[in-house]
Each structure stands twice: as structure tokens, then as C-alpha cells.
Amino acid sequence: MVKHPAKDDTVLATVDHGIIEINLIDLGHTAELCSTAHGYTDGALGQSRFNNPRGMASISDSTILIADKDNHRIRKLDWLVNERTVSTLLDQVLCSQLNSPTLVTADPRNKDKYVYVALLNGFTLLKVII
């Protein structure tokens, strides 16, 4: 669960029977933002693909990071713009140690500069400059 820093909105990532759902919860009303099959694709939210998304962190009013475990990536969801998009922030090319990320969180004092990533394989915590 990620709290929107400027509102009372909450964003959830759930995995249910192989279907990935990212929902926006606003005062009891749920709007599905994304529901896709497993895979890897950046782009418009409806066409994007994730493979076992895990922890999420808000780094700004409009940006959420998602630990995409089985794609070995940290994905960025821009969710307040008209065309909601998903892009890759970190992958194993940019950070060779990025293996099965399960949690991501922003540095509370430097949200726009550093994130911490917990890895399942290797029981490692990385501090990454973004």
C-alpha cells in the first residue's frame, strides 16, 4: 500500500491467480488502473506488463516505484498525468546486483535522490542513486 502524499488516496498492487492488478482507492471507490498478464513491457499503463510486482513506494505526488521481482527491475509508475505510463528506473544493466527486488522505499530525507531496495536472493539491501 502506498499513500498519496498530497491526498488521501491509496494505491495497491495485488497479484491474484496470475493476474496483476494495480488499483487506485479513493474514499472507498476503487478504480482499476492496470490489470495485465505476466510479462515485461513499458509504456501506457493499459499495455504495460509486470512479473510478480511486490513492494511500492511513493517518491512524489505523481510517481510510484514498484519492485518488479521476477523481471529484476524497479519500475516507475507516473499515475497522475492524463496518460499514465510505466517505465523502467533500474534493471540489471544499470545495477548488476538487482536480483529479485521485493521491497523499495525512498530515503525520507532525499526522496528524489536515493531509494533503498531489498533483494530476496542474497538477502541484500541496496542504496541506489536515482
- Is the CB of residue 69 less than 8 Å from the CB of residue 120? yes
- CA distances to 28, 50, 86, 109 from 66, rounded to whole Å, are 23, 9, 10, 20
Number of other CB atoms surrounding residue 71 within 10 Å:
23
Contact 45, 77 (CB under 8 A): yes
- In the chain, the domains with their CATH numbers are 2-129 (2.120.10.30)
Q: What is the pLDDT along the chain (130 residues), one digit of tens a residue?
A: 555 555 555 555 454 434 556 655 554 555 555 656 788 889 987 788 888 888 888 887 778 888 999 999 999 988 776 678 889 998 888 878 889 999 999 888 887 789 999 998 778 899 888 8
pTM of the model: 0.78
Number of H helices, E strands in the chain: 0, 12
